[in-house]
Structure 1
């Protein structure tokens, strides 16, 4: 690639070579890596110093080290080159969207069934698209988008932020989970009021599932007695399986038969409509790169077609 002109006639080759030398790479090594003569690298570094107006490097024995001006300059060089590389990546994705990377965040409970379904179906058509995956708690959903750490978020949180787009994908049923030896375990369906006197196990109050569960119990005419709280669904299932209480849980993505937490039963509820909404979030103020946009359309298309069916 030809050098790209910068302000004051600076070019990316000189900036990148300065960055490498400042990070401890010798001029000889830069020369070998870049396929340029050592005098050519040295001349480029001297031109850069002339353009900046002060020495950026000084020799200490056989090594070049940064001057104070060089240290101050390098922080900005790193930032500029990082932005430039992001820009080149964006251009490359426009030209070849099938080679991009999608940053996907998701709530932990969706990682066992929804995320594999979406990635598998998408990559069967576009195998070269890469993904970076990040599990996120309910309270951190808006943060990962605002900070640019994710292009898209799969979650059960409906954002009220005007800077975030939200689309509903499906409703995931909730069921009453009881230990295998519980008095209700032999039934396939129950009324939630049948569990009014039970000790409930739940997620913290900040979790969207906890808010839904509390509201469902109120709708059924009682306030649940919360015996224990824990931070994740896997632990919650284990606590139910251990006989420490009952819980309202999605049956989706549960472990295979024979796993310890399978010592519980999921019972359908007939007196309340119990579900949690699963949606897709993405930033309103930031245009998605082509690979992320392709995946967004894939997710929405599968949702509209009713192909996102929770496992049970």
Structure 2
């Protein structure tokens, strides 16, 4: 059914003449009349009747008009939403990120991007680096900030920077006042670690093996803020990522000592789908992120 004919039907029912409709829409009067006639033929009953110079809706036309109004309003809302999505200045970008990157990297990236595109909105979801598929593979997420290199060939991952690893120790620990430390110095300590499904756990165990020992895992937990909390409580030490300028977890009482071991860092990158074309606003944000890679990552201002 021709939506243009439906719009003209609305206008005629609301009191405009066919001549006025033709003038407003810059078409010929016969073109409007033919479209209205085709609409009646499709519906299978007269919708309009002459009343002097005007066409007025029949009873069937009045009933049909209520449904046409609802349909056209929904259509216009949909077109407006689509315009918002496809206009880079007003679209919405769906971003996922690990909790540990949500304290400095993601807010800084969004803040610097919105200096140029203040009307772009963001839909945020939390992810983590537990082994598994990237969130962008399902199509709900445009970009994902993650340390996990996706195994799915349909997902592209681009490295942004290397985030150093630290040894987190209780404030009164014997290593707490050191600026740097080797993992070998903590070989006899109890460790607080993430569960085996996490990529950071695999990296931590490999670093300990390279330092010549197998870590004694006293506690396994589900996220980095919990790791910090257990270390602060004096329940062990932990290998954690941190970045200069990154705020420490609220209430943290653990000290962070830089690890000198080779390979004591994790790569942070951004992932997106190879198979799904990003909408313009998301593509602009992707380019903004990649333009900053290799340099100092932006952090949110206070």
TM-score by length of 1: 0.70
Compute the displacement of 1:136 (Å). Answer: 1.0
Q: Is the 8 A contact 2:167 2:240 kept in 1?
A: yes
The reply to whether residue 163 of structure 1 matches residue 154 of structure 2 is yes
8 Å CA contact 1:172–1:278 kept in 2: the answer is yes
SS of 2:226's partner is: helix
Alpha-carbon deviation of 1:307? Answer: 2.6
The residue matched to 1:169 in structure 2 has which SS? strand
1:121 aligns to what SS in structure 2?
helix
The yes-or-no answer on 1:255 pairing with 2:255 is no
The number of aligned residues is: 245
Query: 5 Å matches for 1:92-131?
Result: 92-94=84-86, 96-131=87-122
1:248 offset after TM fit, Å? 0.5
The Cα of 1:138 is off from its aligned counterpart by 2.5
How far the C-alpha of 1:300 sits from its partner, in A, is: 0.4
What's the Cα RMSD here? Answer: 3.2
For residue 234 of structure 2, the aligned residue among 231, 238, 243 is 243
Which secondary structure does the structure 2 equivalent of 1:142 belong to? coil
Take 1:122 and 1:137, find their aligned partners in 2: how far apart are those partners? 23
Instruction: Indicate the structure with greater helix content.
Output: 1
Cα deviations by residue, 1:184-226 (Å, 9 ceiling, x for unpaired)? 1121111110101100001111111111101111111111011
CA distance, structure 1, for counterparts of residue 297 and residue 171 of structure 2 = 29
Unaligned runs of 5+ residues in structure 2 are 11-56
Distance 1:38 1:272, change over 3 A: farther
How many angstroms apart in 1 are the aligned matches of 2:264 and 2:147? 14
Query: Is 1:274 aligned to residue 264 of structure 2?
Result: yes
Counterpart Cα distance in 1 of 2:116 and 2:274? 27
1:85-120 C-alpha deviation (Å, 9 max, x unpaired): 4x76445544x3100000000011100010111010
State the secondary structure of the residue aligned to 2:177: coil
Displacement of 1:309 after TM fit? Answer: 6.5
Equivalent position of 2:48 in the other structure = none
